[in-house]
A = this chain, B = another copy of it.
Amino acid sequence: MFILPEEVTLIEVGPRDGLQNESKHVQEKDKIAFIHALQEAGITEMELTSFVSPKWVPQMADAAHIVKKTKKVGKQIVLAPNEKGANLALEAGARSIAVFVGVSNSFNKNNINRTTDESIEALKPVILKLKEQGIYVRACISTAFYCPFEGKINPDSVVELCLRFIEMGIDELSVADTVGRANPRESFELFKKLIDELPNVLLTAHFHDTRKMALANIFAAMQAGIDRFDSSAGGLGGCPFSPGATGNVATEDVAHMMDSLNIHTGISVKKVCEAVAVIAPHVSHPIDTGMYRLFLNAQL
């Protein structure tokens, strides 16, 4: 018989990871309404926005406004790809910052035109400076299972990369199946390995539902001992390298599975669906998650 955690934390990534790849421009006021509705639903850790170049990602040009104008509830994280982004985030008042790097060289080269090593070396002084200032740093490790260019990733490389971030003093690792290809055995094995081989650190699992295995992967990761999961309300988001990919696992579906398993999250599934209804008219594709569909059919 397996043992599951009694309590699980969901880190909401819809407003950042979800909207960052959204082709339709979402207005600042609609993003803020979405974020507030998610806070109302009981979300206490959230990726709010991203301090990337507005030239590259016009969707996130309102990052400073989003930080300033949203209510301060729990851990509000913003993404910063580099020192410039981190400085802008700090100026806006952010106290929790996420950085990211892929395990795969080819992925990093395609994504930010740097090798994995170059990416880490570039982030190191940024992270050290943030930690000096007492900022919470979340390191997002992408392509931890598969790379769209290189295929299967060696779990030892994931451990090695995680250790380098831990040495820099980061607070949390979010380890991601960016392309949505991991299966539940791989989920169990990688997270078991990370729990066994890494020193004490907040460890979060990030799954995409491209091949419909996200909840199975979350279930398997819980069996390995993981109790923190990234998720995105409405399943917003996707990987630009995976055409047709349906993106992040939906917060309402994960929260419902936890409810069903009697695992406490503090999150109201119905209120997450209400938050989804706030953003749904402003995105370019219909939202069709399990619980949101039931919500629309008045089955919640």
Contact = CB atoms under 8 A, between A and B. Distances in A.
Interface of A: 1-2, 4, 181, 183-185, 188, 209-216, 218-220, 223, 242-246, 250, 253, 256-257, 260-261, 288-291, 293-294, 296-299
Nearest to A235: B212
Given A211-B291, A213-B257, A253-B211, A188 B2 contact: yes
Contacts of A4: 185
Q: Report copies per complex.
A: 2
Contact of A215 (B2, B210, B213): B213
Contacts of A188: 1-2
A23 to B, nearest CB: 16
Given A212-B253, A213-B215, A216-B216, 10 more contacts: A2-B188, A4-B185, A183-B257, A184-B219, A210-B294, A211-B253, A211-B257, A212-B291, A215-B216, A243-B298
Contacts of A261: 183-185
A173 to B, nearest CB: 23
8 nearest interchain CB pairs? A244-B297, A212-B290, A216-B216, A183-B260, A215-B216, A212-B253, A216-B219, A211-B290
A296 B213 contact: no
B185 A242 contact: no
A213 B255 CA distance: 12
A65 B289 CA distance: 38
B213 A246 contact: no
A177 to B, nearest CB: 12
Contacts of A209: 212, 290
Nearest to A4: B185
30 contacts: A1-B188, A2-B2, A2-B223, A4-B185, A183-B260, A183-B261, A184-B257, A185-B261, A209-B212, A211-B256, A211-B260, A211-B291, A211-B294, A212-B250, A212-B257, A212-B289, A212-B290, A213-B215, A213-B257, A215-B215, A216-B216, A216-B218, A219-B219, A242-B299, A243-B297, A243-B299, A244-B294, A244-B296, A246-B293, A288-B288
Contacts of A215: 212-213, 215-216
